[in-house]
Structures are given as C-alpha cells and as structure tokens.
Amino acid sequence: MFIAIEGCIGSGKTTLVQLLAKRIKAKALLEATKKHPFIKDFYLKPQDYAFQTEMNFILIHSHQLQKATQANWFDGIVISDFLFDKDFLFASLTLHKPLEINLFQKTFNFLKNKIPEPDLVIYLKAPVEFLYERIRKRGRDFEKNIPFNYVKNLNKKYDHYFNSFSKNRLISFDATNLDWSKNEYANKKMIINNVAKKIEVKLKAQKIY
C-alpha cells in the first residue's frame, strides 16, 4: 500500500508523514531535497537554473521510488512526502523555452512509467499567506529568497491539479490545522488519529485496506 502526501511548499508534508508513519506502522519515504545541486541557485536566479532544477528533481524522485521498489518497500505500507506528478506542476510554472519543455515532458513520461502509483493521496490545502509564513519561520537557507508570488502561483497550480484529481484516491485536508506550534500534544494526537481514520475509510472503499 502506497500513500503520498502532497501540498505546496510549507504545507507540513514531512512532519505529517513522520507522525503518520508511526501511527499506521508504515515506512516513511522522505523527499531528498538536500541532495539537489541547483535548488539554492534556482531561488537566486530562477531564469538561469529552472531547467537544471526541474530535471534534477524528476531524477532524484524517480530514483528514490525505484530504489524503494527494488528494496521491496511496497510489499508493506509506504507513506511519502512527495508525489512524482508534483514535478510537472513546478515545471509548468518555471519552464518557458519550448525545447526545454519538450525534453522535460519526454523525460517525465518515461520515468513515470517506471515508478509505482500511490493508492491514496492526501492533499494539504492552505492559503498562500499561511504557507509563506511557514516557509519564513522554518528558516531553511535555500528558501530564504523565495518570492511571495512564486508561492502564490504554485499554490494555484496545486489547487487546479487536485480539483481534477480522482476523488476515489484523494483526501483533502486543511493544512492550517497542522500548525503544531499552536497545538498541545492532545490536539496533535487527535489530528493524527483523524487523518489515520480518513485513510482507513478511503482504502476500505477501494478494498485495499
């Protein structure tokens, strides 16, 4: 069983994956962003490093998923903090040259055919102001130059994509409820249990769980 958690930058994907993995006894597959060689340069000069950035992301993500497959992770329960399709959303925002767009699409399609599709996706939906504040507060060095409008436009891409996503495989969740700094332990536990129950109901409807 494969569950992916997605949402715009700052929505709280990684923390939720780590907490849910413990709750449902799953392996946590976390995005290897730190391995990306161009991400810091991209936020400084997006027009110069967009193509290298997007191509590296699909290679990193596909490698992670293929490696997990080869290690038989998907014989059990896996929960990840990324969906491979996210890379297409980012690229549709950052790539503008026809040759680069074409090459990206061909590579994306080729790699997508080699990786597993999630049985269920949890979309963490949030207003852009909340996301941008979360990004600012967590203080990652490579994110300090992210423009507000970039996050705003990316968030719109996410909303549009998940508005047409298969409802049988989707749970939408208000990411503003995942602001752990404002929640005591009891509330955190309640939220995780609530998400876990939503997963169980959705998977039972698919006759997976």
| Both structure tokens of 130 | 């909340």
Give yes or no for residue 209 having a pLDDT over 70.
no
- pTM of the entire structure? 0.90
* Alpha-carbon gap, residue 36 to 67, rounded angstroms: 17
* Alpha-carbon gap, residue 203 to 209, rounded angstroms: 5
CATH of domain 2-205: 3.40.50.300
E strands within 91-201?
Answer: 120-125, 170-174
Active site residue 119: no
Please name the residues in contact with 77: beta carbons below 8 A apart, sequence gap of 6 or more.
1, 2, 3, 24, 25, 26, 27
E strands within the chain?
Answer: 2-7, 27-29, 78-80, 120-125, 170-174
pLDDT level of residue 182 (50, 70, 90 thresholds)? low
Q: What pLDDT, on a 0 to 100 scale, did the predictor assign at position 171?
A: 93
Yes or no: say if 60 and 36 are a contact pair by the CB < 8 Å rule: yes
Percent of the chain with pLDDT over 70: 95
Backbone phi, psi, residue 144, to 5° = -70, -15
Residue 118 DSSP code = P
Residue with tokens 């109901």: 201
Of the residues 41, 48, 81, 119, only one is catalytic, namely 81
Over the stretch 1-44, which tens digit does the pLDDT of each residue have?
A: 899 999 999 999 998 999 999 999 999 999 998 788 888 889 88
Domain locations in the chain as residue ranges: 2-205
Nearest to 40 by CA among 55, 25, 52, 30: 52
Give yes or no for residue 186 having a pLDDT over 70.
no
Q: What pLDDT, on a 0 to 100 scale, did the predictor assign at position 185?
A: 53
Looking at per-residue pLDDT, the higher value among 198 and 154 belongs to 154
